Amino acid sequence: MKMSAALNTLLAIDNYIERLFVPRDPAFEQALDDARKAGLPKIHVSPNQGKLLYLLAKLVRAQRALEIGLLGGYSTMWLAKALGPKGRLVSLEVDELCVRVARTNLLRAKLLSRIEIRHGDARATLRQMVRNRERPFDLVFIDADKPSYPLYLDYAIKLTHPGSLILADNVIRNGDVARHDKGDEWVESIKKFNKKLAANPKLETIIVPITRKKIDGLAIARVKD
Ligand code: SAH
Ligand code: DHB
Ligand code: MG
């Protein structure tokens, strides 16, 4: 498909912002390289989006963060960097290869000591975490299987406190969520998720469009005081 002039402009802007504000970090570059070499899909957050996650975590002075969907640990590195050495990040991942690749990446970036990877289906892990009355998190980043997003939101609300941030990747999906006709399972789950965010009186939420080859979006929700 021919790339539209508008998308080309957005990609050029994204590039401009990245050159200005996201200096290359060898550990981060190597992480993406190794994930690719291991055959992991290239579906990590973009560098600018990583910086945005980092800043959001810093703005709420997050000390405890939860990530749902680790992949090669790229977004994990951005979040963990923001937490500082005393911070703790729990990341949930079902795929064993991802866990292996991410561990190597996080170790090399000297961030592994502040990260706890929990291997398994996040739906089961989260149920257990709620049952165990796990200490609430200051920030939750939802980025795993899209059909489970509405369920992940329920768990995220149970695992946070007033003032916490709940973030979610891929909530725009090339604009398909804004169409009125029925989309595929992913699109329909995300539509349901976005409506659920909007309808929750405990949350104050916005979606920020994110430039990728296909335009996507990051949901930013704050749990009310
Ligand atoms: N946050 C990562 C990208 C995550 S991609 C980054 O930006 O760098 C989505 C990840 O969710 C994949 O690694 C996939 O294996 C994982 N995943 C999918 N379904 C899952 C489930 N039910 N439980 C845990 N992880 C899951
Ligand atoms: C895709 C992108 C993502 O960021 C993700 O978490 C899962 C899938 C994709 O483009 O297919
Ligand atoms: Mg994603």
93 CB within 6 A, ligand 2 = no
Ligand 1 in reach of 98 Cβ (< 6 A)? yes
- Closest protein CA for atom 3 of ligand 2: 43
- The whole-angstrom separation of Cα 78 and Cα 55 is 9
Tokens encoding 165? 């941030």
Nearest alpha carbon, ligand 1 atom 13: 71
Taking the CA of residue 146 as reference, the ligand 2 atom at the shortest distance is 7
For a mutational test of ligand 2's pocket, the pick from 32, 40, 42, 43, i.e. the residue with the most ligand atoms closer than 8 A to its C-beta, is 43
How would you class 192 by CB atoms within 10 Å of its CB: exposed for 0-12, middle for 13-18, buried for 19 or more? middle
**Where do runs of H (alpha helix) occur along the chain?**
5-21, 26-37, 47-59, 74-83, 96-108, 122-131, 149-158, 185-199
Residue nearest to atom 8 of ligand 2 (CA): 43
pLDDT attached to residue 183: 87
Binding site membership of 71 for ligand 1 (Cβ less than 6 Å): yes
pLDDT value for 135: 97
Task: Tell whether ligand 1 has an atom less than 6 A from the beta carbon of residue 188.
Answer: no
Give the burial class of 225: count Cβ atoms within 10 A of its Cβ; 0-12 exposed, 13-18 middle, 19 or more buried: exposed
- Measuring from atom 9 of ligand 2, which residue has the nearest CA? 43
Per-residue pLDDT of the chain (225 residues; tens, 9 = 90+): 567 899 999 999 999 999 999 999 999 999 999 999 999 999 999 999 999 999 999 999 999 999 999 999 999 999 999 998 999 999 999 999 999 999 999 999 999 999 999 999 999 999 999 999 999 999 999 999 999 999 999 999 999 999 999 999 999 999 999 998 998 999 999 999 999 999 999 999 999 999 998 999 999 999 999
Asked if residues 221 and 149 have their Cβ atoms less than 8 Å apart, the reply is no
Question: Which helix (DSSP H) or strand (DSSP E) does residue 164 occupy?
Answer: strand 160-169
From 141, 170, 177, mutation site for ligand 2 pocket: most ligand atoms within 8 A of C-beta: 170
